[in-house]
Chain A
Amino acid sequence: MWDIITKAAWQTIYMVIGSTLFSVILGFIPAMILTLTAPDGLRPNRLIYGVLDVIVNIFRSFPFIILMVIIIPFTRLIAGKSIGTKAALVPLTVSAIPFVARVIETALRGVDSGLIEAARSFGASDAQIIRRVYLKEAFPGIISGITLTMINLIGYSAMGGAIGAGGLGDVAIRYGYQAYKIPYLVVTSIILIIFVQLIQSIGNLLYKKLM
Chain B
Amino acid sequence: MIKIQNLNKKYDNLTVLKDISLEINQGDIFGIIGQSGAGKSTLLRCINGLEPYDEGSITIEGKEIASLDKRELHIMQSRMGMIFQNFNLLNRLNVYDNVALPLQFWGKKKNAPESREKILHLLKLVGLEDRIKSRPGQLSGGQKQRVAIARALVLDPQILLCDEATSALDPQITKDILTLLSQINREMNITIVMVTHQMEVVKEICTKMAYIENGESIAVGRPEELFVAPNSPIRNFVRDASEFLPQEGVNIRLYFNNDATAEDSVITRMARELDINFAICDGRLENYHGTIMGSLAINVSGENQEAVTSYLSQKNIPWEYA
**Could you list which residues of chain A lie within 8 angstroms of chain B, going by C-beta atoms?**
112, 114-115, 117-125, 128, 132-133, 136-137, 139-140, 210-211
Contacts and interface: CB of A to CB of B under 8 A. Distances in A.
What's the dominant secondary structure at chain B's contact region?
mixed
A120 B50 contact: yes
Contacts of B59: none
A132 B110 CA distance: 13
A118 B87 CA distance: 9
A123 B104 contact: no
B105 A121 contact: no
A41 to B, nearest CB: 15
The list of the 9 closest CB pairs from A to B, nearest first, reads: A123-B77, A123-B74, A118-B88, A121-B82, A122-B102, A114-B88, A124-B105, A123-B78, A128-B105
B211 interface: no
Interface string B57-101: 000000000000000011111101110101011111100000001
Interface residues on B, range: 20 to 34
Contacts, number: 65
B155 interface: yes
A211 B74 CA distance: 31
B36 to A, nearest CB: 17
Contacts of A140: 92
Most chain A CB neighbours (cut-off 10 Å) among B84, B88, B93: B88
A112 B88 contact: yes
B82 A114 contact: no
Contacts of A136: 90, 92-93
B105 A122 contact: yes
B50 A118 contact: no
Nearest to B78: A123
Nearest to A122: B102
Contacts of B89: 115
